[in-house]
Chain A
Amino acid sequence: MLDLEKLKKTARQVRIETIKAIYQAGSGHPGSSLSTVEILTGLYFGGILKHSSQKPKWEDRDYFILSNGHACPSWYTILAISGYFPMEELSHLREFGHFLQGHPDKSKFELVETTTGSLGQGIAVGLGLALGLKSLNRKNLVYVLESDGEQDEGAVWEVNRIASHYKLNNLKIIIDRNGMQIDNFTEKNSALEPLDLKYESFGFAVKTIDGHNFQDVIPGLGWLKEIKDKPGVLIAKTTRGKGVSFMENSLGYHARSLTKKEYYDALSEL
């Protein structure tokens, strides 16, 4: 039985370390880094993703791609807590020459399966991995985390159509549905809804969950993992900037540096 309290504790630690890293870096994307915390914590610590920090390039690992690369501070934090590298490295986020780039860069960091930061590309590489794993008769699963703003990219729907055609049951998509993109709320910019029906009509198994409640996140990810006949998508309803009241649902916190006051206010809330 999973200890949800322990997951909550981990999620809190992820938030604190993420805010610290962004503050020290002098820039970053706090909004999406905070909205993805429970999804990532659930994947890595909830018994979903097959991975091992002792064997980072383990052949039987599941593949994880952060297609919304801008949320990397929380993903890097998750990797550090998992033991892939020392926690101390997080303080070097965005530093010249360091492997913790502002967006995940495969050429600088071997744990990155593919370079992201240009939306709609991580998922396209995920499609290639899923197709290739099938042709090699390998059982690994491919998890791809996308943002909701990313759904505006045409490439996403190229991939969705093809994944469905090949019935890629090894492709597991999670959408961080925080409802916001850079310029506006997604529904005010160019509406995505009904997003679930769009995926359904493309041939996906679809489920919508509360992306901050582990009682929803863990069964949701478990459902996603177990889908056997088609590609699946888990739409995780989240709040951008979750956990820091003045960042929550605020358009100002997509990408920015944090002032000293914001930093300490955020930490005291967390």
Chain B
Amino acid sequence: MNNKIISGLKTAVYESQREALGEIMLEAGRKNPKVIAITADVADSTRLLKFHDEFPGRFYDMGVSEQAMIGVCAGLSNLGLIPFGAMFGAFEAGRAYDHIRVSIGINRANVTLVGSHVGFSNPGDGVTAQSLTDIALMKSIPNMTIVCPADTVELKKAIMMAVDFVGPLYIRISRDATPVFTTQESSFSFSKADVIKEGSDITIVGVGPIIYNAIIAAEELEKENIKCELIDCHTIKPLDGETILKSVRKTRAVVTLEEHTIVGGAGEDIGRLLLENMPVPVEFVGVRDRNGQSARIYDELIDNYGLGADSIMKAARNVLKRKK
């Protein structure tokens, strides 16, 4: 059980994961001289310029060449270096998919890929830059570990762990500021999902910063005497079935939540886990097989695509009805 999460929209501090990436990569670079940063013309957007300034000899900008970038990461790892390849998630997973499948996945290359601007966190740029399919692509690759930090605190922990981690790793991060709701003291490891709030009626398993909406939904549902247990499932692959099943044994109803398409998303894996082990009613909250689009305000997209607290509450009430 984690330490008490900070909750409530009014009290939450907002921080951007990509800003945090810039800071923590510096720390990783200082900790281990083998750490190398590689990007494809988005050094500023991924906040890697600071790394470049401090470690110019350990930074490569490939220009707009995502495929070459992946190959370079694989080649550097062959020499015992520790490459971090950071790029927009949409283009990293999408444009360079086959290079990741072969040169990183099959090779079991010791490479960390950071996909930024995922979900709707790049609202204005619209459909091509929004990354709603990267989990689906990445999880199809054997040996790939996939981590979606819920906030900047988890992201920093994930990057520092990635320095010592062995094998292909994908870390998925948001661009704009999101609420910080875990703490330095919260437990975090790639092998364990974290129960961040206890409850007895429904298990909500969430992925990434969007979990915050589940925190709000759970508080509202509490007023209807519906007690939600919240699981921060930051590591999608390998999935921590033990923690999820332990919770579901108690609640017998599940809502999954992710800022990603439900087709090939994390929810599917959670659904499969339950079907194979403990069939209970499940509702999937995520993008329902649609493309993204521009919006000036992030929340417009979240509401329109059904990822807001009200959608989660609706899913929770539905799953509760199905349980009875």
Interface residues of A (CB under 8 A from B): 105-107, 113-118, 120-121, 123-133, 135-136, 138, 154-155, 158-159, 161-162
| C-alpha spacing A116/B70, complex, angstroms | 14
Nearest Cβ on chain A to B77's Cβ, whole angstroms: 8
By a CB distance below 8 angstroms, the chain B residues around A155 are: 65, 67-68, 71, 99
**Chain B neighbourhood of A107, CB < 8 A:** 106-108
**Are A158 and B79 closer than 8 Å at their CB atoms?**
no
Task: Report A-chain residues with C-beta under 8 Å of the C-beta of B76.
Answer: 128-129, 131-132
* Centre residue among B60, B68, B78, B79 by max chain A CB count within 10 A: B68
B12 CB-CB contact with A under 8 Å: no
Separation in Å of the A199 CB from the closest CB of chain B? 16
Residue pair A124, B98 in contact (C-beta under 8 Å): no
| A–B complex contacts, Cβ < 8 Å, 12 sampled | A107-B106, A107-B107, A113-B78, A114-B103, A121-B67, A124-B71, A126-B71, A131-B76, A132-B78, A154-B67, A155-B67, A161-B63
How many chain B residues touch A (Cβ–Cβ < 8 Å)?
29
B79 touches A121 (CB 8 A): no
Contacts of A131 in B (CB 8 A): 60, 72, 75-76
Are B103 and A124 closer than 8 Å at their CB atoms? yes
Contact residues of B with A, CB < 8 Å? 36, 57-58, 60, 62-63, 65, 67-68, 70-79, 81, 83, 98-99, 101-103, 106-108
B49 shortest CB reach to chain A, Å:
19
A124 proximity list for chain B (CB < 8 A):
67-68, 70-72, 74-75, 99, 103
Contact B65 A115 (CB under 8 A): no
List of B residues within 8 angstroms of A115 by Cβ:
102-103, 106-107
On whether the beta carbons of B58 and A128 are closer than 8 Å, the reply is no
Complex interface: chain B residues within 8 A of A118 (CB):
98-99, 101-102
- Measured CA separation A52–B77 after assembly (Å): 22
A-B residue pairs, 8 tightest by C-beta: A128-B75, A124-B71, A128-B72, A158-B65, A158-B68, A155-B67, A129-B75, A132-B79
